Structure 1
């Protein structure tokens, strides 16, 4: 097979005469990701060596390589503060390499390994920021196709700590673009697929909305909406039938999740509508959407949540459930499946009015009596002096 001839590389290898590999960051079905140094611009980058399944024919590998180059260039169209930037697409021999922004981070999947579930207010904020990036991608005609916890990154150190970004547009494609050799395959991660995609339909903007909803559901509920099953075929059958489990921990986020997980793609919100709904849910509508989108993740004490910090020791899930975003009021904790009223875009509800306390309110009674007596004494003495 063609895959047998794929070049094996290691640290210090120079890719395309410019990118020197330092250490492997990870890998998966689509290839290996390395930390590298851009020797031309003298900066760190993440660089992915795109790989293909072993059972592909030479012709299929050739088509896949061409597609990877095209899709890498496509991803370079997107510039957004909550999306990992694509810097360059290059060939090393016959292998495509995607050069991306490097952000020291841990994925949402890794965060979920540190605790059972995350607080709905913070999950709503994560979702709003990712949805904002995906809404821009959709406006540019780009469908991500693999939104999942492993592709949502949270900066875990330095000044950017708490910053959220969606990554891996490596299998994204332009709307309406024909995918060579894809007619009999399902692209994406089964646990987060939309039902129509599991049934063999083409990924669309609506399926990205469903995948984001599945990802956020997993973050609050502790497992995907279709459960966990090592039998991929059985899981795909459940996904295809849209058999989601009812949320039990999502509180005020429940309404947004159920709308994003609507089985009928035509009835789901657009990604922009999902962003507004999630932003409103993050705070109960007490601040503007822009503030939710621009604020890094923070706990109630103003620190980056422990599950998003590098090397931090886990804490109990019970304490997590009551955490909020610093400076962002906590969303009201509704009972499961209780509806959340959705405001118009950009029109969050004003903060609750609290009347000012009257002067002296809250003072001890003996102190008030003493102050009044002292005042009377001053008046009497003043009268006596004038007399």
Structure 2
């Protein structure tokens, strides 16, 4: 009897991904834009619609079991379906989800931009008036996401983009719903995995609870706090476990630079989720605290501006401060009650007061008037 040993199973070689690589026969890669929690992000050209797109390559599934690899593929496809539900002017749009070499790629709107994280690397901290605009616009996008049943779950400075060139310079958009989920999606099991970035974790998530819309409110508050204060609310530590422990115990460093936004940020970062505002309420509180009531139309659809109506220097690539925005008037500020001031005294008339002449002032005034008139006539006659 002849025994035939089965041929060894060889893994199919994976393509080398780089510039000029064609994804799904349609998207030509140009250059790498960066990396994220789910994989590398590339600038690509959509050959069908002749436009630039950002396309996210999922981290390789090499080394995973087939079941684990399939779970990763399903997760990113789910991400694409969830994110595609959202259409908002302050959220990066998702165009397509495709499979290439057995792995999913997420095709998104490309916005030439600088993240708030990169801005903080340039200027250390942003002014409360600039952060208020960013916060209100991102909160507006998240309010729409929450209405669609979407929880972002990873709000942080690196995921908030500000256009740094072109016609959209200064415009704010929230990116990377990479670990987003439907608010009612029960497919995930609660376990030892904590989803999100430690520095911006709400206490309940740090303790292992499932992220909710209230968790997004906290993370946005923590992100805005970081932009103003120049450090995260739990401080710095090289050990991420220490940060998670501080988050679990809600050990927030009191803000000192947030000015009119102080109460709003502390409200958004309440340790108890039920005490936090909704995202819509948070948006309105930010607007009212920084600019006064009724200012939403001037803030939500406009680029980020300084108080005098210019685009901040950190938001404009290769540009000095002073670049005028399409709406270049100074920003509205809340009206504060002012103490009543007494009216300025009116200057007294320099005309003669005839009342000082007593009870015969009337006839005497007429006589004086006639005499003055007669003198004028005599002067004119002599002059002729």
TM-score by length of 1: 0.81
Residue of 168, 171, 175 corresponding to 1:163? 171
Residue of 117, 126, 129 corresponding to 2:134? 126
SS of 1:146's partner is coil
1:308 is displaced (CA, Å) by 1.1
1:51 is displaced (CA, Å) by 1.3
- 5 Å-filtered alignment, 1:30-179, equals 30-51=38-59, 56-179=64-187
Q: Deviations over 1:122-166 (max 9, x none)?
A: 101110000000000000000000000000000001111110000
1:281 is displaced (CA, Å) by 2.0
1:185 is displaced (CA, Å) by 1.0
1:95 is displaced (CA, Å) by 1.0
Residue of 250, 256, 262 corresponding to 2:258? 250
CA contact (8 A) 1:121 1:281 kept: no
Aligned length: 346
Please give the alpha-carbon distance, in whole angstroms, between the structure 1 residues aligned to 2:126 and 2:76. 34
Please give the alpha-carbon distance, in whole angstroms, between the structure 2 residues aligned to 1:70 and 1:87. 14
CA contact (8 A) 2:190 2:210 kept: no
Structure 2 CA distance for partners of 1:314 and 1:32, relative to 1, 3 Å: farther
CA contact (8 A) 2:135 2:286 kept: yes
1:74 is displaced (CA, Å) by 1.2
1:304 is displaced (CA, Å) by 1.2
Residue of 300, 303, 322 corresponding to 2:307? 300
1:309 is displaced (CA, Å) by 1.5
Please give the alpha-carbon distance, in whole angstroms, between the structure 1 residues aligned to 2:338 and 2:72. 59
Please give the alpha-carbon distance, in whole angstroms, between the structure 2 residues aligned to 1:272 and 1:287. 15
CA contact (8 A) 2:26 2:46 kept: yes
SS of 1:25's partner is strand
CA contact (8 A) 2:190 2:209 kept: no
Please give the root-mean-square deviation of Cα atoms over the aligned residues, in Å.
3.4
1:61 is displaced (CA, Å) by 2.1
CA contact (8 A) 2:290 2:333 kept: yes
Structure 2 CA distance for partners of 1:5 and 1:69, relative to 1, 3 Å: farther
Please give the alpha-carbon distance, in whole angstroms, between the structure 1 residues aligned to 2:258 and 2:136. 15
Which runs of at least 4 in structure 1 moved beyond 4 Å after TM superposition? 3-7, 52-56, 179-182, 312-315, 350-355
Task: Please name the residue that 2:286 is paired with.
Answer: 278
Task: Please name the residue that 1:27 is paired with.
Answer: 35
TM-score by length of 2: 0.81
Task: Please name the residue that 2:331 is paired with.
Answer: 328
| Structure 2, unpaired ranges of 5+ | 1-10, 323-327, 352-371
Structure 2 CA distance for partners of 1:294 and 1:54, relative to 1, 3 Å: same
1:195 is displaced (CA, Å) by 0.8
1:328 is displaced (CA, Å) by 1.3
1:56 is displaced (CA, Å) by 4.6
Please give the alpha-carbon distance, in whole angstroms, between the structure 2 residues aligned to 1:20 and 1:66. 24
Look at both structures and tell me which one has the larger radius of gyration over its CA atoms: 2
| Structure 1, unpaired ranges of 5+ | 316-324, 332-349, 373-379
SS of 1:294's partner is coil
Q: Deviations over 1:256-290 (max 9, x none)?
A: 0000000000110000000101111221x164222
Q: Deviations over 1:146-202 (max 9, x none)?
A: 000000000001111110000001210001213456633111111011111111111
Q: Could you tell which deviates more after superposition, 301-310 or 71-80?
A: 301-310
Structure 2 CA distance for partners of 1:58 and 1:291, relative to 1, 3 Å: same
1:55 is displaced (CA, Å) by 7.0
